[in-house]
Structure 1
């Protein structure tokens, strides 16, 4: 992939390499960080990737997608396709109930952007194929603008409005206006069953593309002499438009909310997505930090940035190399000639065979060794709850059990597979919106040799 931003020696941009080394060590200790990029004065001073993840591969952004939707809304408003205070009942008349409530009648684009729709709880907006209709049918317990509630349904309705008014999906609308000028390579956005980009999640871009987006924000929409997004919109979107808690608490999630952006301490702001996707913009330091990951707890990376990086800007220390190599530990264990096959009673995997140097999942063979990661393709039929087919696998025998790790390289998801010849199969997905998921299975046959030969 072509570099989107210039590179620089950290010290030349007022960042001690020793501080970057401490930041990387702190992120390494947290675990499950996939990439980190630091920009200072428009130059990349740090780009680190934890194997087996691939820096040039697309990665699921989760709710960072919302910040891109905000840019599309701002551009559409600048093009006078609609206005900030236009009413949703007038923009989407065929998707609202025949007799909208007074609260729904007062709902505007501004309220969708600020997550102040009036819902007391996020509606079950994906209960049918018509996501916007479901979202707009839900009761609004509060007047719009009176109550903040994080609400992905609101962002999807914004996507529907942009598509209706522009005639293009979000991704197509942004392509010539944002993605192509920034140098993005084939960004991809999940669509609803009715062909509308999901808006609030589902965007996949690369690590440096995420960082370049942060630099665009830092430059108030200017990129190489062209004003891609109006500076006034960037200022509105990234400033506090509504309270979302007590800023005096110093809490990461209570510093105010903008138009699909979170405020942070010390004058910073961010787009963030589940499981450790961040683009943090630090205007006072003229810096950007972008992270991708697969974290159950999103707090520690932010703490590492604030503890290790912010105090170090424009200080002087002796130069220090980054920790190397950066590798998420493989499964470990030993190889054995034993071959077993299991039936998976729930979840995305129907059958699993363990060979001496491979796993066979639903008939797809993946190389598998104890002390290294092997990358392959796992294109499963039917629905699944992660993005991308590329996976990394490592596994070996630990005592009486076979332990394997399977990492989806373009997403946050990791599976831990545990096979006990006497006790069956357990598969744990370590991150999910409802916590870890656990599935179990039993041997497909009683004879290991027969099980092994039953898979072609």
Structure 2
């Protein structure tokens, strides 16, 4: 489908001081713990700033990790509005075939509301235990784990709760989350192609795995900021927006993250010191700021997620002024120019040494082959017999779309060492590969560890890499 462009205007026209955005960009780009991938800012319904750090681009989907949960929440909101789903119905009632297996009274008393608000009664994550109990049916494995307390009394960030909610919606609708949301959400607010990882049962994961653009993140946030209204028309019930974005479960003593992970939890949305948000591992954020009438969307690769939020509060919040700013044309133009030129620095190295054409390297989980070519050299990574061939140019990023979207840079740091960075462009992840010519070995390590273990040839949005 063709998506309709968001209304846009210069920052000053919406009371946004460009100097604050510059300060935020400075903070991002000088912090070694944060690799930014994209930024979009909307205020008063107008897109005032957007940029992607090359080789990331606007049109590419990006793995959102747990930001997927807020889209699952939205699917549940539609199911409630259509009379299909009741938050105050026991979870087990939607799985009658499990009835004889689930004997713990707390599990039997668990309501849909409890799994939607991370209040199942368990005191810790249950994903690994649930999978071990039932590898083929995660919901049954989850319900077989007796909650530590009564449901509704304790918060624990717990993937099977969201998976259970997502499974209920998919059962009730007879559709995947993606197909259910397409006519109700995606088409109505202008979200283009998305793709969701599925489990062995063929279900969209719900708790993670959604690949979508930064634009899609921003549009979801703007829909919630508008109380469910998009372009003057009701899309999502206002009652669901209010219910999903209020605190349901206290988490002020929780072990996760920093201060912004202790402000309460809604229905698959986090409360923040300012506004509320959907968020995913490594810096995928949808920040909704009702007091500022603003939405901020980011994608990134960082474990320092609280630090990234602190930068937003420090630099972007003060940039939101009460009214339009005059005489800022030059400042707005300079910001637009900077945003258009954002880029991640490529790894550097020298061209291949003379005197060889092809060398094989061994390692523990990936082997490598390096072959000299007329325009640089080719690096082939071999994982369990599967070959990923990558072109390594003499400088800059080398972009490939097949068999999985990648960007590659690097070179020889000395006569015997090849160092290469491989970015998987539809994820937050990059792989650092070092090959040693003297001993014919290589090492490969993730800069940020993928949370969904997949082969290299499948490190992209599912439809692209299938």
| TM-score interval, normalised by the smaller of the two chains | 0.7 to 0.9
Equivalent residue, structure 2, for 1:391: 406
CA separation of 1:196/1:2 partners in 2, compared to 1, >3 Å: closer, same or farther?
closer
Q: Is the 8 A contact 1:103 1:143 kept in 2?
A: yes
Q: What SS does the aligned partner of 1:289 have?
A: strand
Q: What's the CA shift for 1:230? A: 0.5
Q: Distance in 1 between matches of 2:279 and 2:229?
A: 22
State the SS of the aligned residue for 1:57: coil
1:11-61 Cα distance to aligned partner (Å, 9 max, x none): 000001222122222222234110000001111111011011111111111
Q: Which residue of 1 aligns with 2:244?
A: 237
Counterparts in 2 of 1:333 and 1:231: CA distance versus 1, 3 Å: same
1:37 correspondence with 2:62: no
Which position in structure 2 is the counterpart of 1:129?
A: 136
What TM-score does the superposition give when structure 2 sets the normalisation length? 0.86
Q: Is 1:263 matched up with 2:287?
A: no
Match of 1:401 in 2: 417
Deviation track 1:257-310 (CA, whole Å, cap 9, x = no partner) reads: 0000000113x1000000110000000000000001121221222111111110
Matches for 1:65-76 after TM superposition, within 5 Å = 65-76=68-79
Residue range with higher mean Cα deviation, 278-287 or 414-423: 414-423
Q: Secondary structure at the match of 2:154?
A: coil
Q: 1:156, 1:199 within 8 Å by CA — same for their partners in 2? A: yes
Cα distance in 2, alignment partners of residues 115 and 8 from structure 1: 39
Task: Tell me how far apart the structure 2 counterparts of residues 130 and 138 of structure 1 sit (CA, whole Å).
Answer: 13
Instruction: Tell me what 1:103 maps to.
Output: 106
| Structure 1 residues 96 and 29: CA distance shift in structure 2, 3 A | farther
Report what 2:261 is aligned to. Answer: 253
RMSD value over aligned CA atoms?
2.3
Equivalent in the alignment of 2:400: 376
The answer to whether structure 1 residue 190 and structure 2 residue 200 are counterparts is no
Q: Unpaired runs of 5+ in structure 1? A: 380-388, 437-456
Q: TM-score, normalised by structure 1?
A: 0.88
Aligned to 2:359: 340
2:443 is aligned with 1:422: no
State the match for 1:16 in structure 2: 17
Which piece of structure 1 moves more, 162-171 or 255-264?
A: 162-171
Separation (CA, whole Å) in 1 of partners of 2:164 and 2:191 = 25
Q: Report the counterpart of residue 380 of structure 2 in structure 1.
A: 360
What runs of 5+ residues in structure 2 fail to find an aligned partner?
454-466
Matched, 1:152 2:159: yes
Report how many aligned residue pairs link the two structures.
424
Determine helix, strand or coil for the equivalent of 1:66: helix
| Separation in structure 1 between the aligned mates of residue 294 and residue 369 of structure 2, nearest angstrom | 47
Aligned partner of 1:215 among 222, 240, 246: 222
Whether contact under 8 Å (1:330, 1:370) holds in the other structure is no
Of 282, 286, 306, which residue of structure 1 is paired with 2:293?
Answer: 286
